[in-house]
Amino acid sequence: MSGDNTPLDGGSFPYRVERSVTLPYAPMSVTGARQRLCSDLRAMEIGDERVDDASLILSELVSNALRHASPLPDPEDTVGVSWRVRVDHRPPAGGWVEIAVRDGGSSTMPRVARPSVSGLGGRGLGIVQTLAGQWGTEMDTTTTTVWAVLQIGAGDLVSKRLVAVDRHRVEVGADHPRYDVGEVRTRVRESATAWGALL
């Protein structure tokens, strides 16, 4: 797997990432891209359910490209996969994930099929359409790109930011002076309960 990678935004808000990879035109090549996508989304504090949705969209788009389209002409025998993500944890929290797969095109335009109940295939773009807020196709003379945008709501985010508690003062008793405890730092997940005692 090769490609251009924009590192995960190191700033606190919002998070942004862009990836573009070139995969061999083979069924097994989707695994690495899917793992990298999931890793990016989890690092951006997106919950598992939405990560699974994005992973399924990527899998369906790549599978369709491998099943119904030709490989890219350059580099030869490949398929291109890219994603762009933007997430902001500040209210109103949310964002989006855009996934795109580029191939060498086919004789027909990608479309949602209506398979029979007992049919074994033909549901890929139907799944994409159900999960994604938007999807579409762009074509030129040598390539076809199918893209989908998955919306991320505030409820899809999992906060892993750590909170630091800086200073505490403690009253020991009536006969003792006030003691200043310098810099008691605790690192606790924002959503977790902290338990402790000062003696």
> What are the backbone dihedrals phi and psi of residue 139, each rounded to the nearest 5 degrees, phi first?
-130, 145
- State residue 130's pLDDT score: 84
CA distance 56 to 107: 25
- State residue 170's pLDDT score: 40
- State residue 4's pLDDT score: 55
- State residue 89's pLDDT score: 87
Beta bridge partners, 101, equal 81, 146
**CA dihedral angle for residue 86, residue 36, residue 113, residue 135, rounded to 10 degrees:** 20
CA distance 80 to 2: 10
Ranges of each domain in the chain: 2-156
- State residue 9's pLDDT score: 59
- State residue 176's pLDDT score: 46
First to last CA, the chain: 56
Q: What is the CATH number of domain 2-156?
A: 3.30.565.10
Is 21:133 a contact under the CB 8 Å cutoff?
A: no
> What are the backbone dihedrals phi and psi of residue 130, each rounded to the nearest 5 degrees, phi first?
-70, -40
- State residue 124's pLDDT score: 62
- State residue 12's pLDDT score: 58
The answer to whether the pTM exceeds 0.85 is: no
> What are the backbone dihedrals phi and psi of residue 71, each rounded to the nearest 5 degrees, phi first?
-70, 165
DSSP-derived letter for residue 184 is: -
pLDDT in tens, 158-176: 875 543 333 444 444 444 4
Residue 88 burial by CB count (10 A; 0-12/13-18/19+): exposed, middle or buried?
middle
CA distance 72 to 3: 14
Q: Which of 54, 56, 78, 23 is nearest to 124 (CA)?
A: 56
Positions in the chain short of pLDDT 50: 1-2, 116, 118-122, 162-199
Which residue bears the tokens 């004789």?
107
- State residue 8's pLDDT score: 59
Query: What Cα–Cα distance (Å) separates residue 17 from each residue in 1, 12, 123, 188?
Result: 18, 13, 29, 26
- State residue 160's pLDDT score: 59
Which residue bears the tokens 């990608």?
110
- State residue 196's pLDDT score: 46
Residue 179 CA to its chain's centroid (Å): 48
pLDDT in tens, 100-111: 999 998 876 655
